[in-house]
Structures are given as C-alpha cells and as structure tokens.
Structure 1
C-alpha cells in the first residue's frame, strides 16, 4: 500500500470526509483505537478537528500522540486504508458495524467499546 497523503488541518480532513464519508472516518477511529473511542467520541473528535482544534486531552491522544489530534487521526486513517487494502470485506463490515453502534445511546456504546477487542468483526 502506498503511504496516504497526510492530513495536516481542517481543509485536508474535510476533503477526506467528502471523499470517504464521515462514517468511514468514525469507523477508522474506532478501529484504530481498538474500541477505545466510541462512535460518539470519534464524531466529537472529528468535529473538533474540522473546527481547527489541534490538541486533544483524551488519554489515548495524550499518551500515544503527544496530544496531537491530527497525528492520532492520521494514524487511524493509515490503519483503515491498510485494512481496506488487505481485507476490503472486513473494512466494509467494520463501517457497517460502527454505523449500527452509532445508533445506540452513550451507555450502550461504552459497553460495546469495552468488548470491542474481542468482537471479531
């Protein structure tokens, strides 16, 4: 797989969302975090990035990416693109599963988040 173009700010991110869809990016962030991010939390992070925020204080972003929101998003995008390249059917199932999880209330999303690593999507 060729290295994807780096997302450096809101304009690049908006272009990716327009191209791939917001649901795709939400799924990428859920998968990239191994379920640490619920779909609701991923959506909040995406909206913050689209509005120009560059720093995030969630535990994952702080501990793994030095609070760099775009670095975390880039990691998740690369992971999802690699998954699509390697197993397109699984990537599609992942997006569909995350769409379904997105319809749940916050408590249910958190419950799924806890079980995510063992869900075998």
Structure 2
C-alpha cells in the first residue's frame, strides 16, 4: 500500500489502529526501521510501499519515523518497537503474511494481539 492510499483512507474517515516498527540490521551494521500499520479499513498490518518499484519503505532515523506516523497519519497511541529476531514477532504473523505491497492477508488469518507489555527486544515509544 502506498502512502497516498493511506492518506485517502484517512481522509475517508479511516484511522490507524496500531503501529509496530521492526528494526532490521543491514550488512554495514546500521539499522533500518520498517513501520507496519493496522488501518481500520483493511484487515491485517501493512507496510508502506516504495514510491517506485517493489519493496517496503525503510527509515534510518527512528525519531523522524515516529514524527511521521504521529504528525502525518494522526496516530497518537503506543508504538511497539521490535528487533527483527524478537520471538514475539512470531505471534504477529500477519506482519509478514500479506504486509508487503500487493499481497493480502488470507481471510482465515486472525488479527494479531495488541502489544501491551514490553519485554526483551521490544520498546513502547
């Protein structure tokens, strides 16, 4: 899903219900952050697609990403931050099943649980 599609959904009265950010380490030892959004008008989490081509948008600056989600999408709830290898991500399978642009979450896929507690590999922003 592109950023423009998200903005259209928000303008039509939708809202972002949950945000999970996954921190991925790259080959150079840097960190890229991938936001996964749960829009009210679509089932399952989605990642923001690249403007051109396949793939998802990543952010190196976590502060800028949080500001973007809060200011541009109006989300003011808790934001969970997970390392890519965090075992709790296994509970959120829909993050990866259908979260990439152009794919869908199967109808039998349950909604992921809300992330209310923090533990190793997680943080609430």
Output the TM-score relative to the length of structure 1: 0.32
**Structure with larger RCO (C-alpha < 8 A, sep 6+):** 1
Instruction: Flag the structure with higher helix content.
Output: 1
